[in-house]
Amino acid sequence: MEQLFIENGYGEFFDRFRYPIEMSGILENIEEEQLQSFFKIFECDTFENFAYLFTLYMSMKNRNRHLL
């Protein structure tokens, strides 16, 4: 997943928040395309923003998968 952060311009973000990202388990069972589509929609500057928005995004995507 680290490579996806780098490819989407979030390499420094990942380096800065690597520990909370890994410890939170937020990226477990996530497919690469889900993370890539998240990066196309949202911008995050803190781990808290990332965790909140990514959780919200995945929840919306799962609930509305019939619309995709």
CA 16 to chain centre: 15
pTM of the model: 0.83
At residue 30's C-alpha, the angle toward residues 29 and 31, to 5°, is: 120
The pLDDT assigned to 37 comes to 92
DSSP 26-44: TTTT--HHHHHHHHHH---
Both tokens of 44, joined, read 């995050």
Tokens for 3, please give them.
Answer: 């490579």
Mean pLDDT for 44-58 is 95
Helices 47-63, 11-24: inter-axial angle, 10-degree rounding? 70
Report the chain's mean pLDDT, rounded to a whole number: 91
Check whether 65 has a pLDDT greater than 90: no
